[in-house]
Every structure is written in structure tokens, then in C-alpha cells.
């Protein structure tokens, strides 16, 4: 009888465990969608802050002295508007890049549920404050730059925390595919951010920021009440006595299916390690430096498109702000497909570096084709920031220390964020000389990203040829 009750208890707990894993994927997807949704409006609103006033019907009751800039929003009504937009972009991106290197260490030492919730609430506040500048009639560059700096800092709470949550719940069996699908939240957030901002941009651009700010605030509240950040907390919260945990640990090989994604995979319930890894030790994990530098150039390309593509479409094709924003979503649609394909291919071949290198190499001559370029650039970007980060954060050299995941993720994404800051900055400096030169810069970045992975690609090819044994873990 006792044995029968134990088996029943085990399968009940296993079913509950699987439901929790599915909910973690869904919740973290929603959370990071809201992060990217709140970042996107600035790129849509740029073409409204400085627009071609000759195409706008001027109200008859306005006493206007400057026919060229009457519909612009000061201080972006001057000829150096591209430089001013670059200041706004880099106020966010530089703060984000610097903050990311520290965010992972905070994420290891603080409860992820509280950390994520606070980050989303503060992100909602600063996003809304940018939009309130419209209603408060603020024309100070310093105000908008300060809001961007603060928003960049608080947004660093997102990525290391959500990757750590997913990495804590999912093993390596089909991690590339699972995280490739899951990482579509980046593109989904960009698309939704573009569409929501586009609804308000021509009438009251402040609402293009306020509505996304309210959305991410709501998801922060959702996180506080519903997120269970690790398997360890699941066991602690669902066990009334000491029987369940050893039962789960002593039955590691049970066939199961989660939403059709996993058929047979060990139940990976491990003890919680409390020792946080140091920054230097994380850098010594094989592959961290190479993938970090590769991501720097991949994010340079991706974020240049993120921040400048709507303005480029508006300037070159002479589209209205909403139409340019809608067309720019093609890049993100391609990114969804690219992330899934990269995950599937890397799972099947076991070659994370080779998958990234091939896709980036093919992307180089296609930077002007939005849909294809989005898939080929964002595919490696998605793979590195998700499955690769999770693989390295649970590397066998760490001997089961799951708390390293947040720091490793922060190092990789922090280095990539340096490229994210450089890309829009360089685009702002180069675009006055011609948009073709911007595309040459993006092609060069793709090629450099491939070269940085060459050592890892060589090792993977050797492994496929049977020259070296496949690494475990």
C-alpha cells in the first residue's frame, strides 16, 4: 500500500512539474516580450519628431514663422537631428551595456521573482515618463536622455533573469529548439511595439510610450504573483514532508511529453547551489569569450535595424511614420523564423558555432532584403543569447553550479550590448554620407562575427570527423 501511494504521489508530482515547466516558458515569454515592446517606440517616433513639414496640412489659426520646421518637436527640429537621435539611442544602449555586466551578479544573489518584478515596474515608469514629455510640453534633450539612461539600466534586469529561469527548468536535450521558439519573444515584442506605437504616432506620440509602459507594468505585477524561478523552489513549495524530493531524485528516467516538445528526457531535479560564480571564473568557461564577441557584431547589425530601419524607410521611400514602422516589422518576422531554424539545426547537428557562422556568412550579402536578413541575423543572435548561454552557464566545468547561469548570460549579452550601442551610433555618424555606407558597415560586422567563431567551428568540424570526442554536458 505504501509503495502504491508513493507511485501515485510521484506521477502526480511529475504531472504538476510538467505543467509548471510549461507555465515558466509562457510567463517568461510574456515578460521579455513586454521588455522589447517598451524599447521599440523610440524608433517609430523618430520620424514624427523630425518630419517633412511640407506634406502636413498646417492649421490656419497658427502663427508660424518657420515653414520648414513648424511640425517638428524641438529640439529635434534642427539639421543635426540625426546626431540628437544618436544621443538618445546611445543613452539607452550604453547604460544597458554597462549595467548588463553587473545585472547578472545581482540576479544570482537576489530572488529572480523580485528582481524581475522590480525591473518591469521601473521600466514601465521610465517608458511612460518619456511619453509624458509630449503632454508636459518638454523640449529638453537632457530630460529625454536622462529617461533613456535610467530605462537602459533597469531593463538589464530582464535578460539574465529570464534565461536563468528557463535554464533552471529545462535540460539540454532539445534546448536549441525550445529556446529558439521561446526567443521569438524578442521579435514579437518588436512587432507589437511597432504596431502599438504606430497607432498613436501621428496623433499623439506620447501615447506610443505610455501604452507600452502600462503593459510592462502589468506584466511586472503578473511576475510577482506567479513566477516560480527554479525546480528547487517548486519542490520546496509543493512538498509537505521529506518524501517527495528523494522520490523525484531517485526516478530520473521517466518518459513524458510537454506540449509535444519533449518525449523522453530525464527529470533533472538537482540540489540548489548557493555559491555564486565570480566574473573571472565565468570568463574562463570555454567558448564564453568567442560567443560574446560574436554577439557583439551580431547585435550591432540587429540593433542598427531596430533603431534606424523605420527612419531609413521613411527617408528613402518617403513613407509616413506609421507605414514605415509597419514595414520595418518584416525584419522581426524573419527573426522569428530564423531563431527557430537556428535552434533546430544546432540541436540536430550539435554545432552551435557552425550554425551561427553559416547563417551570418549568408546574411552578409542580403542586408537589404529585410525578411531574409532578419532571419539570418536574428537566428544566430537568438541562438547565442538563449541555448548557447544556457549551455555555457551549465557547463561541466562548473560541476553543477546552476547559479552561474545568470552571470554567464549577463557577460554574453553585456558584450553583445556594446555592439548594440555601437551600431546605431555608427549609423548616425555614417548615414549623412549615404545609406549605402551604412550597409557596408553592417556587412563588415557580419563577416567579423563569422571570423570570431572560426576556432569553435574548427573544433566542431573535427568532432564531426571523429578527430576528437564529443564533449559531454
Reduced 3-state DSSP string for 170-187: CCCCCHHHHHHHHCCHHH
pLDDT given at position 236: 58
Per-residue pLDDT of the chain (473 residues; tens, 9 = 90+): 444 546 776 677 777 777 878 888 899 999 999 999 999 899 889 888 887 666 555 555 555 555 555 577 888 888 888 888 888 988 998 899 889 888 877 877 788 899 999 999 999 999 999 999 999 999 999 999 999 999 999 999 998 888 778 877 776 555 677 777 888 888 899 889 988 998 998 889 999 999 999 999 999 999 999 888 766 555 555 555 444 333 333 333 333 333 333 333 444 444 444 455 667 777 778 888 888 999 899 889 888 887 778 877 777 777 777 777 777 788 888 888 888 888 888 888 888 888 888 888 888 777 667 767 778 888 888 888 777 877 776 666 555 555 566 778 778 888 888 888 888 888 878 887 888 888 889 889 988 988 988 888 888 888 888 765 554 44
For helices 321-349 and 41-49, the axis angle rounded to 10 degrees is 150
Question: What are the DSSP calls for 355-402, one per residue?
Answer: HHHHHHHHHGGGTT-HHHHHHHHHHHHHHIIIIIHHHHHT-GGGTT-T
Report the alpha-carbon distance of residue 176 to residue 244 in Å, rounded: 30
Report the alpha-carbon distance of residue 131 to residue 48 in Å, rounded: 13
Residue pointed to by grid coordinates 565570480: 278
Report the predicted TM-score, pTM, of the whole model to 2 decimal places.
Answer: 0.73
Question: Domains in the chain, start-ordered, CATH in brackets?
Answer: 2-53+79-464 (1.20.1250.20)
pLDDT given at position 345: 87
* Residue among 340, 359, 427, 349 nearest 89 (CA): 427
**Phi then psi for 76, rounded to 5 degrees?**
-95, 20
Report the alpha-carbon distance of residue 270 to residue 21 in Å, rounded: 15
For helices 2-39 and 41-49, the axis angle rounded to 10 degrees is 10
Q: What is the pLDDT of residues 284-327, one digit of tens each?
A: 788 888 889 998 998 898 888 877 788 777 777 777 777 777 77
Burial letters for 12-21: b for 16+ Cβ neighbours within 10 Å, e otherwise? Answer: ebbeebbebb
Report the alpha-carbon distance of residue 338 to residue 374 in Å, rounded: 7
What would the grid cell of residue 440 be? 557596408
Report the alpha-carbon distance of residue 420 to residue 13 in Å, rounded: 43
Q: What distances in angstroms separate CA 100 from CA 147, 404, 411, one per listed residue?
A: 17, 15, 7
Burial letters for 210-242: b for 16+ Cβ neighbours within 10 Å, e otherwise? Answer: bbbbebbbebbebbeeebbbbbbbbbeeeeeee
Report the alpha-carbon distance of residue 391 to residue 285 in Å, rounded: 11
Question: What are the DSSP calls for 57-105, one per residue?
Answer: PPPTT---S-TTTTTS-TTTTSTTHHHHHHHHHHHHHHHHHHHHHHHHH
User: What is the number of other CB atoms lying within 10 angstroms of the CB of residue 325?
Assistant: 33
What would the grid cell of residue 339 be? 531563431
pLDDT given at position 433: 84
Question: What are the DSSP calls for 222-290, one per residue?
Answer: HHHHH----HHHHHHHH-SSSSHHHHHHT----B--STTS-SB------PPP-PPPPHHHHHTSTTHHH
* Residue among 160, 197, 206, 199 nearest 38 (CA): 197
pLDDT given at position 402: 53
pLDDT given at position 26: 92
Q: What is the pLDDT of residues 14-65, one digit of tens each?
A: 777 778 788 888 999 999 999 999 998 998 898 888 876 665 555 555 555 5
The whole-chain average pLDDT of the chain stands at 78
pLDDT given at position 149: 96
Amino acid at each position: 500500500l505504501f509503495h502504491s501511494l508513493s507511485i501515485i504521489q510521484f506521477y502526480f508530482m511529475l504531472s504538476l512539474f510538467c505543467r509548471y515547466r510549461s507555465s515558466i516558458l509562457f510567463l517568461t515569454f510574456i515578460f521579455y516580450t513586454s521588455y522589447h515592446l517598451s524599447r521599440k517606440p523610440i524608433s517609430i517616433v523618430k520620424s514624427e519628431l523630425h518630419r517633412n513639414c511640407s506634406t502636413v496640412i498646417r492649421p490656419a489659426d497658427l502663427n508660424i514663422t518657420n515653414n520648414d520646421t513648424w511640425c517638428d518637436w524641438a529640439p529635434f527640429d534642427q539639421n543635426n537631428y540625426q546626431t540628437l537621435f544618436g544621443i538618445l539611442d546611445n543613452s539607452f544602449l550604453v547604460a544597458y551595456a554597462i549595467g548588463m555586466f553587473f545585472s547578472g551578479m545581482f540576479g544570482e544573489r537576489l530572488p529572480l521573482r523580485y528582481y524581475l518584478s522590480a525591473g518591469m515596474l521601473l521600466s514601465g515608469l521610465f517608458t511612460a515618463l518619456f511619453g509624458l514629455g509630449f503632454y508636459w510640453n518638454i523640449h529638453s534633450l537632457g530630460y529625454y536622455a536622462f529617461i533613456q539612461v535610467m530605462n537602459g539600466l533597469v531593463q538589464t534586469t530582464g535578460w539574465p533573469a529570464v534565461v536563468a529561469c528557463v535554464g533552471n527548468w529545462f535540460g539540454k536535450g532539445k534546448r536549441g529548439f525550445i529556446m529558439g521558439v521561446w526567443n521569438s519573444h524578442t521579435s514579437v515584442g518588436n512587432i507589437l511595439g511597432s504596431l502599438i506605437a504606430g497607432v498613436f504616432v501621428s496623433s499623439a506620440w506620447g501615447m506610443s510610450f505610455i501604452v507600452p509602459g502600462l503593459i510592462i507594468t502589468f506584466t511586472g505585477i503578473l511576475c510577482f504573483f506567479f513566477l516560480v524561478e527554479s525546480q528547487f523552489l517548486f519542490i520546496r513549495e509543493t512538498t509537505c514532508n521529506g518524501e517527495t524530493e528523494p522520490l523525484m531524485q531517485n526516478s530520473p528516467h521517466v518518459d513524458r511529453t510537454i506540449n509535444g516538445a519533449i518525449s523522453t528526457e530525464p527529470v533533472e531535479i538537482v540540489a540548489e547551489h548557493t555559491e555564486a560564480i565570480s566574473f573571472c571564473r565565468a570568463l574562463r568557461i570555454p567558448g564564453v569569450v568567442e560567443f560574446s564577441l560574436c554577439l557583439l557584431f551580431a547585435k550591432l547589425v540587429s540593433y542598427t535595424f531596430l533603431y534606424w530601419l523605420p527612419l531609413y524607410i521613411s527617408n528613402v521611400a518617403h513613407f509616413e511614420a506609421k507605414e514605415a514602422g509597419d514595414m520595418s516589422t518584416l525584419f522581426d518576422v524573419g527573426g522569428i523564423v530564423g531563431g527557430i531554424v537556428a535552434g533546430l539545426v544546432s540541436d540536430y547537428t550539435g554545432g552551435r558555432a557552425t550554425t551561427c557562422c553559416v547563417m551570418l556568412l549568408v546574411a552578409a550579402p542580403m542586408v537589404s532584403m529585410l525578411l531574409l536578413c532578419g532571419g539570418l541575423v536574428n537566428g544566430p543572435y537568438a541562438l547565442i543569447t538563449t541555448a548557447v548561454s544556457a549551455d555555457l552557464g551549465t557547463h561541466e566545468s562548473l560541476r553543477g553550479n546552476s547559479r552561474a547561469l545568470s552571470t554567464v548570460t549577463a557577460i554574453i549579452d553585456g558584450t553583445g550590448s556594446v555592439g548594440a550601442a555601437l551600431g546605431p551610433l555608427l549609423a548616425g555618424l555614417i548615414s549623412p554620407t549615404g545609406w549605402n555606407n551604412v550597409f557596408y558597415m553592417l556587412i563588415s560586422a557580419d563577416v567579423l562575427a563569422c571570423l570570431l567563431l572560426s576556432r569553435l567551428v574548427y573544433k566542431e568540424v573535427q568532432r564531426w570527423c571523429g578527430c576528437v570526442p564529443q564533449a559531454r554536458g
